[in-house]
Amino acid sequence: MKIARLMFNPIQENTYVVWDSTLEAAIIDAGNMGERENEILDKFIADHGLKPVLAINTHGHFDHLMGVSHVCDKYGAKFALSSKDEFLLKNAMVSAELFGVRAGDMPEGIDIDLEGMESIKFGNTELKIIPTPGHTPGHVALYEPEAGILFTGDTLFRESIGRTDLPGGDYSWIMRSIIDNILPLGDEVKIYPGHGEESTIGHESMYNPFVVEVLNQEVNYKN
């Protein structure tokens, strides 16, 4: 499995292009905004001879959605998102305006509901779906166990965590997701977050202040 990170839009969101030997590709959190950024994504896809078949979203915030319509319309890809975040999808344009961003077209609906699904496939690749609510109610992480790769969206960043003060956010739930669902995957697993640089679970266990204070029982994250 090969991975490319493209940073898009004013929120500096990480869009990941993921593909394998079949050249079928998934675009994870397509945040490309406007003609220039669409062209950047399209050129990368064309240069590598890829066939995008899925636009998979870890969650439904506008900065991760702005390129989904382009990917689906141009390549015929199916849009995958948890239905628990459908309320965010419906309000994405309004949310973008509150952040001073003119988002453009948004997807009209979900093609593949990730809620309750154990995995999603493209080409010869299967990504395990791990529920990680807290940043949003329907947030998921995408895990490829053979390569030891985890796309964490806005749940876990390098030495930080996602916001929990937006609609549907919950600090207790995001920490449960990290402690109970992410850390047990193992220290060597490499994480690809929705913003910022890559990391590993081991690094976050040692140096992420939000994680460390919970592991040291300095904070009761369950209440």
What b-and-e string marks burial along 74-109, b requiring 16 or more CB atoms within 10 Å of the CB? ebebbbbbbbbbbebbeebbebbeeeebebeebbee
What number of CA atoms fall less than 13 Å from residue 219's CA on the CB side? 13
Confidence of residue 94 (pLDDT cuts 50, 70, 90): confident
pLDDT, mean of residues 75-98: 93
pLDDT: is 78 or 95 the higher one? 78
Report how far residue 189's alpha carbon sits from residue 144's, in angstroms, rounded to the nearest whole number: 10
Confidence of residue 93 (pLDDT cuts 50, 70, 90): confident
Structure confidence at residue 100 (pLDDT): 86
Which of 72-81, 95-104, 183-192 is predicted least confidently?
95-104
pLDDT, mean of residues 51-69: 97
Q: What is the pLDDT of residues 141-184, one digit of tens each?
A: 999 999 999 999 999 999 999 999 999 999 999 999 999 999 99
Structure confidence at residue 96 (pLDDT): 82
Confidence of residue 97 (pLDDT cuts 50, 70, 90): confident
What does pTM read for this prediction? 0.96
Structure confidence at residue 173 (pLDDT): 97
**Percentage of the chain lying above the pLDDT 70 cut:** 100
Tokens read off for 160: 């930080």
| Average pLDDT taken over every residue of the chain | 96
Structure confidence at residue 83 (pLDDT): 98
Report how far residue 123's alpha carbon sits from residue 219's, in angstroms, rounded to the nearest whole number: 43
Question: Which candidate, 185, 118, 191, places its Cα nearest to that of 157?
Answer: 191
Q: What is the pLDDT of residues 8-37, one digit of tens each?
A: 999 999 999 999 999 999 999 999 999 999
Report how far residue 54's alpha carbon sits from residue 122's, in angstroms, rounded to the nearest whole number: 7
Q: What is the pLDDT of residues 39-50, one digit of tens each?
A: 999 999 999 999
Question: Which candidate, 183, 188, 167, places its Cα nearest to that of 221?
Answer: 183
